[in-house]
Amino acid sequence: MQLIPPHRFTRFVAIDWSGQAVARPKGLALAIAGPGTDAPELHTRDRGWSRADILDWIADLAARKVPALIGIDLSPALPFIDAGAYFPGWADTPGDATALWQLVEHLCAEDQHMSGNGVVRHPEAKRHFRLHGDCGDLFPGGLGRMRVCEHAQREMGLSPTSCFNLVGASQVGKSSLTGMRVLHRLRGRVPVWPFDPVPEDGPLIVEIYTTIAARAAGVRKGLSKIRDAATLDAALDGLASRPHAPLARYDDHATDAIITAAWLRNAHLTPDLWQPSALTPKIARTEGWTFGCI
């Protein structure tokens, strides 16, 4: 499997994602960096982004073969390696990530706004998730099941949460399920690393973890919410980026996207990030990997 891309990307996109089951989630933010050192620009919509908007925007990049590296802050798959299955004990459990995306899309076909609620309505799938006031009998307790790259993140001093946990402010399960629907709909048009080979042209999607970018920018542990211009510029300076253009509003979704786009522009040139030592072909097919995690 060829994992090191030709260094041909000229646009670097970071998307802060959201699993909120509404038409235009407040947590969706998209920033774009070009080559060089200019600060990334926040790309906005008058009414805010919807997941369908972002899907169409990425599809347009693919149609025009724009050489964009697109980082999306979500988990593209559920844990598999630890139990040999996404949903052990269920006869219909998918065998790889693309089949998982198809299953999520099927179970959520009636859900509006590309939400992922249909998964936890299914009597078998639901047993594996922790919900508000309703913990599935197959949820193992504690932190829950983790992907291999999430264990690696913990070794890096980060605090990932299980995609099977849908409780609490730090949960990522809802956003990951909605993201799987988007990845399914982009299948065949935009490859996703490391599930797919790196293409010779056009865009490529990678999974990002915005805290990795923040640490690289010098943002100290515990200061995860940047909501002012001076702190944002200090982080950009740590990534060899010029100061940003003033924003209409400073929230952590916008600043996460801006910082991560600047980081992605630098980090994609590091060969080791494209070939982590623990990333096996089986993991690449089933769980994927967070870009920047080694």
| Residue 85, pLDDT score | 98
CA–CA separation, 284 and 183 (whole Å): 15
Residue 3 has pLDDT above 80, yes or no: no
- From the number of C-beta atoms within 10 Å of its C-beta (0-12, 13-18, 19+), residue 92 rates as exposed
Phi/psi of residue 276, nearest 5 degrees? -60, 145
pLDDT > 90 in the chain, percent: 88
More confident site: 239 or 7: 239
What span, in angstroms and rounded, lies between the C-alpha atoms of 258 and 265? 11
Residue 133: its pLDDT value, please?
Answer: 86
Pairing of the two strands 130-131 and 11-16 = unpaired
pTM score, whole prediction? 0.96
Query: What gap in Å lies between CA 13 and CA 196, rounded to an integer?
Result: 19
Q: Which pLDDT value is given to residue 2?
A: 47
Tell me, what's the pLDDT at 1?
45
pLDDT at 221: 79
- For residue range 13-68, what is the model confidence (pLDDT) as tens digits? 999 999 888 999 999 999 999 999 999 999 999 899 999 999 999 999 999 999 99
Q: Residue 230 has what pLDDT?
A: 96
How confident is the model over 77-99, as pLDDT tens digits? 999 999 999 999 999 999 999 99
Residue 5 confidence (pLDDT): 55
At 131-182, the pLDDT tens digits run 988 999 999 988 899 999 999 999 999 999 999 999 877 788 999 999 999 9
CB distance 147 to 79 below 8 Å? yes
Q: At a CB cut-off of 8 Å and minimum separation 6, what does 68 contact? A: 9, 10, 11, 12, 13, 61, 203, 204
